[in-house]
């Protein structure tokens, strides 16, 4: 059977595979489009499996809030390069992941990827996407936040790289957005001092005491120095202790008090945080080759 350019074009549009791969698949199946699609997906799945071990440290943070402001979901979808992070196919997949997460109110990666949309699971859609774009793509993490009784949730996105969801009681929509924006900028670790683990605080005290003892000052002075530095440390790592980014003369705790509000919880995602991304040093590589290594 003669394989026409229109047949190759149709197969390419359906599968996203390369033109030569599409032509070869049609030749091997004597022009049978359905079998060619199946064969390409099989080979594409094999390619995707090989790519699944590659580091995916770029990507996008996506957030959705329910119409009644009682539920917020945030996802991090990763790829390997900033180029693919802007690709329309990758972005469409990230949107699909987000919508599915909100629809099912899912709180873990596995349940999202096992969900079916248009007859196939999101994991199958991910595999197809990997074969199409040639990069590893992963749903790294999912966050679900539900508002406390009488409260609301809010969110803030800073570009594609940082996302924050917060749960607040009292206050208003503007306060919730301001708090989420503050968390994005200041990156606190905890809401308040009482949430700081005792072992973390004790370790910080040990470090500060050791530093202060090197000063040669009397013990009572050292005690006061350490106490002051601990208070400063707690203010730096807690949301309520930090100075409000929109008004540095006011702490977040004072802002909340003025608005008769409180923060129940917050979660901040930043693309690729905690992932060790391999950096290629081409100068060293060339020199190593020149040395015969």
**Sign of the C-alpha dihedral, residues 19, 135, 99, 109?**
positive
Lowest mean pLDDT among 1-10, 174-183, 280-289: 280-289
Between 22 and 159, name the one with better pLDDT: 159
Please provide the distance, in angstroms rounded to a whole number, between the alpha carbons at the two ends of the chain.
52
DSSP state of 193: G
Average pLDDT over residues 161-187: 96
For residue 275, tell me if it sits in a domain.
no
Check whether residue 14 and residue 147 sit in a common domain.
no
The predicted structure's pLDDT at residue 53 = 63
CATH number for the domain harbouring residue 153: 3.30.479.20
| Cα of 26 vs its chain's centroid, Å | 40
227 and 177 in a common domain: no
pTM of the model: 0.76
Q: Which residue has the higher pLDDT, 216 or 104?
A: 104
Q: Where in the chain does DSSP place strands (E)?
A: 58-65, 71-79, 116-117, 120-121, 138-146, 151-158, 162-169, 243-244, 247-251, 262-270
- Number of domains into which the chain is organized: 3
Model confidence at 280, in pLDDT bands (50, 70, 90)? very low
Residue 281 has pLDDT above 60, yes or no: no
State percent of the chain over pLDDT 90: 64
Instruction: Look up residue 236 and give its DSSP letter.
Output: H
Instruction: Characterize 117-151 residue by residue with b for buried, 16 or more Cβ atoms within 10 angstroms of its Cβ, and e for exposed.
Output: eeeeebbebbbbbbbbbebbbbbbbbbbbebeeeb
**What is the domain extent for residue 110?**
58-189+245-270
Rounded to an integer, the average pLDDT of 90-108 is 96
| pLDDT tens track for 63-95 | 999 999 999 999 999 999 999 999 999 999 999
Q: Is residue 291 in some structural domain?
A: no
Q: Are residues 71 and 152 in the same domain?
A: yes
The reply to whether 14 and 159 lie within a common domain is no
At 6 the pLDDT is 86
Q: Is pLDDT at 46 greater than 50 in this prediction?
A: no
Q: Would you state the pLDDT for residue 112?
A: 96
Question: What mean pLDDT value characterizes the chain?
Answer: 87
Check pLDDT > 60 for residue 292.
Answer: no
Span 117-172, pLDDT tens digits: 999 999 999 999 998 888 889 999 999 999 999 999 999 999 999 999 999 999 99
């Amino acid at each position: 059977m003669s394989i026409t350019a229109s047949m190759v074009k149709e197969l390419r549009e359906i599968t996203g595979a390369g033109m030569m791969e599409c032509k070869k698949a049609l030749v091997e199946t004597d022009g049978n489009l359905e079998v060619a699609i199946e064969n390409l997906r099989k080979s594409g799945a094999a390619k995707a499996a090989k790519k699944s071990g590659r580091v995916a440290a770029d990507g996008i943070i996506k957030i959705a809030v329910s119409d009644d402001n009682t539920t917020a979901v945030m996802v991090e979808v990763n790829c390997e390069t900033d180029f693919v992070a802007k690709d329309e196919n990758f972005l469409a997949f990230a949107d699909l992941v987000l919508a599915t997460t909100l629809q099912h109110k899912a709180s873990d990666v596995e349940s999202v990827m096992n969900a079916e949309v248009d007859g196939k699971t999101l994991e199958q859609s991910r595999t197809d996407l990997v074969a199409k774009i040639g990069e590893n793509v992963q749903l790294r993490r999912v966050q679900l936040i539900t508002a406390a009784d009488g409260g609301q949730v809010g969110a803030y996105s800073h570009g594609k790289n940082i996302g924050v969801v917060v749960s607040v009681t009292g206050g208003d929509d503007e306060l919730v957005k301001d708090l989420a924006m503050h968390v994005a900028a200041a990156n606190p670790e905890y809401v308040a001092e009482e949430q700081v683990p005792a072992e973390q605080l004790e370790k910080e005290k040990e470090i500060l005491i050791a530093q202060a003892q090197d000063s040669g000052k009397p013990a009572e002075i050292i005690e006061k120095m350490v106490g002051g530095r601990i208070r400063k440390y707690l203010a730096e790592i807690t949301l309520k202790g930090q100075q409000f980014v929109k008004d540095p003369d006011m702490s977040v705790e004072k802002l909340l008090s003025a608005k008769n509000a409180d923060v129940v919880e917050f979660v901040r995602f930043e693309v690729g945080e905690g992932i060790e991304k391999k950096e290629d040093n081409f100068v060293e590589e060339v020199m190593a080759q020149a040395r015969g290594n």
